[in-house]
Amino acid sequence: MRKPDLLGAVLLLTSTLAWGAECDKNLSGEWSREAAGPTPDDAYRAEGSGWSDRIRLTQDGGRITVESFYFSRGDLQPPLKFTYLPGGSTSENVVMVGQGAQPQTSSSRWSDCRLVITTRFPAEGGLAEATVTQTLWLEASALVVETARGVAVANRTIYRKTAPAGGK
């Protein structure tokens, strides 16, 4: 075999191995959102992921739980908890904020190295249904969450891993 042919075969084999390599699907950890813009006003106006600035993800078997620390410590409210079953089953979560209980039905699945969560819930007024799709993946040392509300263009929220608060 000639040297150019051998080099081409080695490069093809290397790229095939890298392409087929297993990705990290472990999203577990405590995560804090990066500022959305250069000023606090920009960060306030950003739509974000649909979760709070600080979240905790845990994975237990086929279940992923997201805790969203929406309330402040003085509110004496527990974090909002969302449970998802990426194996193709639907999960139901009830959110208690604002104007009472809001039932949500979610389906989730892995698409290569990305977790895609599609959530449906009654829209304002209860006459229609709203849909939010969140796609999560790890990129370098960050958790990326792309959130699309209905047919709107998705926005991106970047979270960085933090140490657990109070060892919890």
Task: Give me the chain's average pLDDT, please.
Answer: 81
Confirm or reject CATH 2.60.40.10 for domain 30-167, answering yes or no: no
- Per-residue pLDDT band for 3 (boundaries 50, 70, 90) equals low
Kindly report the pTM of this predicted structure: 0.77
Is 50 exceeded by the pLDDT of residue 20? no
What DSSP letter does each residue of 15-52 carry, written as one string?
HHHHHHSPP-----EEEEEPPSSSSHHHHHH---SSS-
Is 60 exceeded by the pLDDT of residue 7? no
Is 50 exceeded by the pLDDT of residue 98? yes
Total H helices, total E strands in the chain: 2, 10
For 52-74, the pLDDT digits (tens) are: 999 999 999 889 999 999 887 77
Cβ atoms of residues 114 and 136 within 8 Å: yes
Is 90 exceeded by the pLDDT of residue 34? no
Question: Length of the chain in residues, anyone?
Answer: 168
CA angle, corner 51, sides to 76 and 34, nearest 5?
105
Of 103-107, 111-115, 161-165, give the lowest mean pLDDT range: 161-165
- What pLDDT shows up at residue 4? 54
